[in-house]
């Protein structure tokens, strides 16, 4: 299955992975709530692909999220 990461902010492709087995723990999806999963992850059964909304490095910098120790309210970001 291909996993396409796309920036939720600017819409640019970040990366594509091709995996035989999807391990939610290794991908960090296990820490998402059901609502977060619905908002961030979509499936294309025809193309056998998953699309994941994330943030690219440029947008992370622009938002000031790259500052060491930045975690508003203790929230951790998947990236």
Greatest extent of the chain over all pairs of C-alpha atoms, in Å: 41
Q: What per-residue confidence (pLDDT) applies to 44?
A: 95
Could you report the per-residue pLDDT of 42-70, keeping only the tens digit for each? Answer: 999 999 999 999 999 999 989 888 776 65
pLDDT of residue 65: 82
| Mean predicted lDDT score pLDDT of the chain | 87
Is the separation of the CB atoms in 19 and 3 below 8 Å? Answer: yes
The per-residue pLDDT for range 11-42, each reduced to its tens digit, is 999 999 999 988 888 888 999 999 999 999 99
- Output the pLDDT for position 66: 77
How many DSSP H helices and E strands does the chain contain?
Answer: 3, 4
Element (H, E) at 46: none
Cα dihedral 29/30/34/37 (nearest 10): 0
């Amino acid at each position: 299955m291909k996993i396409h990461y796309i920036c939720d902010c600017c819409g640019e492709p970040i990366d594509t992975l091709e995996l035989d087995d999807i391990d939610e723990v290794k991908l960090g999806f296990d820490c998402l709530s059901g609502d977060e999963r619905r908002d961030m992850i979509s499936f294309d059964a025809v193309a056998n692909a998953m699309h994941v909304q994330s943030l690219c490095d440029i947008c992370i910098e622009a938002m000031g999220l790259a500052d060491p120790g930045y975690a508003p309210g203790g929230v951790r970001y998947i990236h």
